[in-house]
Structure 1
Amino acid sequence: MSNNKEQIKAELEENRKKLAEKFGQTKMGSTLARRKHKNVHQTQINDDKKLKQVIKKFGVQQLGNIDEVNFFKDDNTIIHFSKPEVQAAIGSNTFAIFGNPETKKFAELMPEILNHIGPNQMGLLQELMKENQSKEKVEKIAEADPKDEDDIPVLVQGQNFEEASKKE
């Protein structure tokens, strides 16, 4: 059996030599470069288009003249959309908001957001007002000049207040 294998190998080598003499040095396969698959990353715009097509099935209508949308979160932050695109399907209680959201703190949107707050945010508003009042008090105390304050004489045990004030 090993004789057979050696004989087959010898025949293959002879045949290869004959082919090389007849056709010369040839390359196997194509001379073109292999085409590699290029991954195309889908952008947010394509996702928005698909989402809008799905939402259209609900019978949504464009709501115009909306300047801002605010979502109040439990951690006292607000998701703020300025000039969003809002679509609504009132019958199915579905609203879609498209735009660039920004997460902001309650204090950052404070003056403009007062008419948007509900009962849940009233407690937060009260806390903010207390913080601002305490900060203002601390600032006033820090700004106050110690020379401007009325000096209170130090009382020594056994002395009267009137006597200590006369000495100074």
Structure 2
Amino acid sequence: MDRERLMKMASAVRTGGKGSMRRKKKAVHKATTTDDKRLQSTLKRIGVNTIPAIEEVNIFKDDAVIQFLNPKVQASIAANTWVVSGSPQTKKLQDILPGIINQLGPDNLENLRKLAEQFQKQQPPTSAQPTQDDDDDEVPELVAGETFETAAEDSHAS
């Protein structure tokens, strides 16, 4: 085929506007809620039940804790399945440590011991003598009979 003939055929093709053919098939957009519905139907088949009145769920990892505040918790003991849904927050273990000591089991006590050792290594040794940086932050003592105003006037006069 020669170039003129191809150009003539290309100009005859129209992709829109008045007089063009309509689209035969409508594009169907799937909503993201279908995944959630499918998950809920699968969980219902397993036989999960909602566990009410759970204020907090903590999932312990090696160096961090995934914390859910006021989550929706569902469980199926027979299927050994637990579902925790909500907004998670990843925190360091030492950040939430005082409030979760009673939640730590025997397997996490070793992690707590390692954390305590790391914390002791990070703290600098305290010495009896103050360092030079500490002296800079202190307010100097006033000389008897002098005020800031008189010192400022003296510096302006000279």
- CA apart distance, 1:90: 2.1
Alignment of 1:70 onto 2:52? no
Task: Say which one has the larger Rg.
Answer: 1
Match of 2:130 among 145, 157, 163: 145
**Aligned positions, number:** 117
**1:124 to 1:31, Cα distance in 2 relative to 1, 3 A:** same
Query: Following TM superposition, by how much is the alpha carbon of 1:33 offset from its aligned partner in structure 2, in angstroms?
Result: 7.9
Gaps of 5+ in 2: 1-12, 133-158
The 5 Å alignment of 1:39-118 reads 40=29, 42-43=31-32, 45-73=33-61, 75-118=62-105
C-alpha displacement of 1:34: 5.9
CA distance in 2, matches of 1:111, 1:78: 13
TM-score (norm 2): 0.58
SS in structure 2 at match of 1:66? coil
CA distance 1:38–1:28, shift in 2 (3 Å): closer
Cα distance in 2, alignment partners of residues 65 and 33 from structure 1? 59
Deviating beyond 6 angstroms after TM superposition, the runs of 4 or more aligned structure 1 residues are none
User: Normalised by the size of structure 1, how large is the TM-score?
Assistant: 0.55
Q: What is the distance in 2 between the residues matched to 1:90 and 1:63?
A: 12
Contact 2:49 2:74 in 1 (8 A): yes
> % of aligned pairs identical?
34
Give the whole-Å Cα distance in 2 for the aligned partners of 1:139 and 1:33: 82
In structure 1, the gaps of 5 or more residues are: 1-26, 148-168
CA gap 1:58/1:103 in 2 versus in 1, 3 angstroms: same
Task: Compare the two structures and name the one with the higher helix fraction.
Answer: 1
CA offsets, 1:25-60, max 9 Å, x none?
A: xx98962586596573643x4422321111011222
